[in-house]
């Protein structure tokens, strides 16, 4: 067992809460004030599925990327919150602070994709310049293999055929598309590119690799970080909440 404060200190030293956006709710979601922690589960989101894994594995602390609580609560009637409390499990989230720190969700994604020499151009956006040009379809095939996904949504109004300058932002980065017009890029990789955001793509291509799949790479990073405190950490087995038919 390890002091719970030591675990939280590790996280907050790595990704300071000072980095959080004003609208964010990173930090404690359920704080049952455990002095010590036996085992930790890390997950993108606290769902019924990930909670059941924490219960099965006797975890007493869950660290998520997405906060469990965003809106003001007028009553505690969420079954996941209730079950976590019933099983004496605390929950802590590192969200936009983890997105913006050095060694962020985007850095983790870039590492899995083999993108190097990242240049930070925004709190959430990095650019990598490939050594050589590569066909856009070949590049995206490599992305699919690296992330284990079967399909990627491509927005390519300019008919980009080869890529060398790659912008990347893990999570829901569709809202940054207009900002990227100021940079010399060939392709933007992110998640959650909605219809109207897709219409804003100019002079480069944009690939929606999925919010979930773009952020999953950060979990091993969190696991390693927390394990340094001297506690056992397991990664939740999570799945998309939909299927394709």
Give residue 166's pLDDT. Answer: 98
Give residue 1's pLDDT. Answer: 85
Give residue 74's pLDDT. Answer: 86
Q: Whole-angstrom Cα distance, residue 189 to residue 110? A: 10
CATH of domain 105-215: 3.40.1390.30
Lowest mean pLDDT among 58-62, 126-130, 180-184: 180-184
CATH 3.40.1390.30: which residues of the chain? 2-98, 105-215
Q: Whole-angstrom Cα distance, residue 114 to residue 41? A: 27
Average pLDDT, the chain: 96
**Binning pLDDT at 50, 70 and 90, where does residue 73 land?**
confident
Whether residue 122 has pLDDT greater than 90: yes
**Binning pLDDT at 50, 70 and 90, where does residue 132 land?**
very high
Gyration radius of the chain over CA positions: 19
Whether residue 72 has pLDDT greater than 90: no
Whether residue 50 has pLDDT greater than 90: yes
**Binning pLDDT at 50, 70 and 90, where does residue 92 land?**
very high
Q: Give the mean model confidence (pLDDT) for residues 16-29.
A: 97
Give residue 183's pLDDT. Answer: 95
Q: Which CATH superfamily is domain 2-98 in?
A: NIF3 (NGG1p interacting factor 3)-like (3.40.1390.30)
Give residue 135's pLDDT. Answer: 98
For 72, other C-beta atoms within 10 Å of its C-beta total 6
Whether residue 19 has pLDDT greater than 90: yes
**Strand, helix or coil for residue 223:** helix
**Strand, helix or coil for residue 161:** coil
Phi-psi region of 159 (alpha: psi -120 to 50; beta: other; left: phi over 0): left
Name the DSSP letter for residue 46.
-
């Amino acid at each position: 067992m390890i002091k719970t404060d030591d675990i939280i200190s590790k996280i907050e030293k790595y990704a300071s809460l000072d980095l959080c956006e004003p609208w964010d709710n990173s930090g404690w979601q359920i704080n049952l004030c455990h002095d010590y922690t036996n085992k930790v589960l890390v997950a993108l989101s606290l769902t019924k599925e990930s909670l059941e894994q924490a219960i099965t594995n006797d975890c007493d602390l869950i660290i998520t990327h997405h906060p469990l609580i965003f809106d003001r609560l007028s009553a505690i009637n969420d079954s996941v919150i209730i079950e976590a409390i019933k099983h004496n499990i605390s929950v802590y989230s590192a969200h936009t602070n983890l997105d913006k720190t050095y060694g962020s969700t985007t850095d983790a994604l870039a590492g899995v994709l083999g993108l190097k020499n990242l240049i930070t151009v925004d709190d959430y956006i990095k650019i990598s310049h490939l050594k050589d040009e590569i066909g856009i379809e070949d590049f995206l095939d490599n992305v699919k293999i690296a992330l284990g996904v079967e399909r990627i949504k491509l927005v390519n109004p300019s008919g980009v055929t080869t890529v060398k300058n790659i912008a990347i932002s893990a999570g829901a980065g569709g809202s940054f598309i207009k900002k990227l017009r100021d940079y010399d890029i060939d392709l933007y990789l992110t998640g959650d590119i909605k219809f109207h955001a897709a219409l804003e793509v100019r002079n480069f291509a944009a690939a929606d690799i999925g919010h979930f799949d773009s952020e999953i790479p950060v979990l091993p990073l969190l696991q390693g970080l927390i394990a340094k405190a001297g506690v056992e950490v397991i990664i939740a087995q999570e799945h998309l909440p939909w299927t394709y038919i």
